[in-house]
Structure 1
């Protein structure tokens, strides 16, 4: 990666990912987490990982995806309250150091984290912001590209290696590198201050959700609704 061609906000990034018990942000619990820092060449400068006992059974369908069973989480995992507090502290420290937080489909991970904080009586992550969501940005700058917009698909499109999808560390690092690749591919983003880019993503995510909702309603689901709130639902 040529750092001279990277956007300033992409020079050093905090990266964040969760693996959880499910997809419903209101009830799902954290199982694994990663918070790290990438340099301008995508190199890993810092990393910290958590294995968490979520306090509930991990559904088999979730275990198949991320590889963590209820038995392993209970045997090896930290208590959820302790882990959630540490994850929030690590992200808050990165933000205090002026690092944007990258999370792919950030509204999922950051909402889960907020719900978990409330569940255990912890102060939520301040802000949160500025946040960089490669999913939202990619949809905005390359709106008509066909195909899936999963992290694996985005990584392939932007030439980023992702060998262990659904591992929190691998996903977090790949998301950061995808964000940096987007900045190189779309140099107009290089002139956007990170706070302004955060604000643009709020609008983009709302517009994308409205478009998707309209499409679903036109295609046989007249009552379908979805939230475009970002970065926390």
Structure 2
């Protein structure tokens, strides 16, 4: 079954993939050199037993959006509660005939390859990916960065670190119709990450390892998505 991958929207990214980019920072773990996939999921609910109904991702290389994007609806194999549909707008009719979870995650796994995964509240999204690993027959062992933690490194734990609050602080506008869609939230998270890099570097947080080490100081706020479980 072919995946429902979104058609490229050049008006959105305006960037053509630069095949020279991946080799320029090869071996470097500087945040500004990383090859990343920023992603988001929409689900049937917030419990560990819930299922993914949509997943989207954008590739970043050396601080630039490449124009590569992934987006698909997912048939969760169960009814989508009306309360969840009210948030993300996805109902049973929308996912009828969509790829199964295994099919969608196999394609997304290929899209991610060995990139660093970035999400807002990464333990939530990574939890859904990892719980689906046995069903999909694959493993998401990518390194992970969380924009909630990166935000806390700049503004402290007492600040509000929701995606809306972070976007407002960074001057990112999320169209109302795009909020709580996998791609809409992915675009906002990608923009947030790119705008956070200079502020992090100014505080001496320059590499992936620096970010992970600093993130351990904020475990009371949110868990470390690089740890299993």
TM-score interval (norm. to shorter): 0.7 to 0.9
What does residue 123 of structure 1 align with?
138
Q: Could you tell me which residue of structure 1 aligns to residue 130 of structure 2?
A: 114
Unaligned runs of 5+ residues in structure 1 are 1-6, 210-227
Whether 2:119 is the aligned partner of 1:143: answer no
Inter-partner Cα distance in structure 2 for 1:116 and 1:199: 28
Alignment of 1:9 with 2:28, yes or no, is no
> Larger helix proportion, structure 1 or 2?
1
Change (3 A) 1:194 1:229: closer
* Residue deviations 1:100-136 (CA, integer Å, cap 9, x gap): 3211111110111111122x1512212x30x221111
State the match for 1:165 in structure 2: 179
Task: Name the counterpart of 1:55.
Answer: 77
Task: Report the TM-score when normalising by structure 1.
Answer: 0.75
How much does 1:64 deviate? 1.1
The offset of 1:176, in angstroms, is: 1.4
Per-residue CA deviation, residues 73-104 of structure 1 (Å, 9 max, x unaligned), is 124x111221122222222x1x2xxx432111
1:184-223 equivalences under 5 Å are 184-188=198-202, 192-201=206-215, 203-209=216-222
RMSD after superposition? 2.4
Relative to the length of structure 2, the TM-score reads 0.76
Distance 1:124 1:115, change over 3 A: same
CA contact (8 A) 1:107 1:230 kept: yes
User: In 1, distance between residues paired with 2:191 and 2:156?
Assistant: 20
Distance 1:72 1:144, change over 3 A: closer
Deviation at 1:53, TM superposition (A): 0.4
State the alpha-carbon separation in 1 of the partners of residues 207 and 40 from structure 2: 24
- The corresponding residue for 1:46 is 68
Structure 1 distance, partners of 2:208, 2:169, is 24
Q: How many matched pairs?
A: 197
Shift in Å at residue 190 of structure 1?
A: 6.2
Shift of 1:39: 5.2
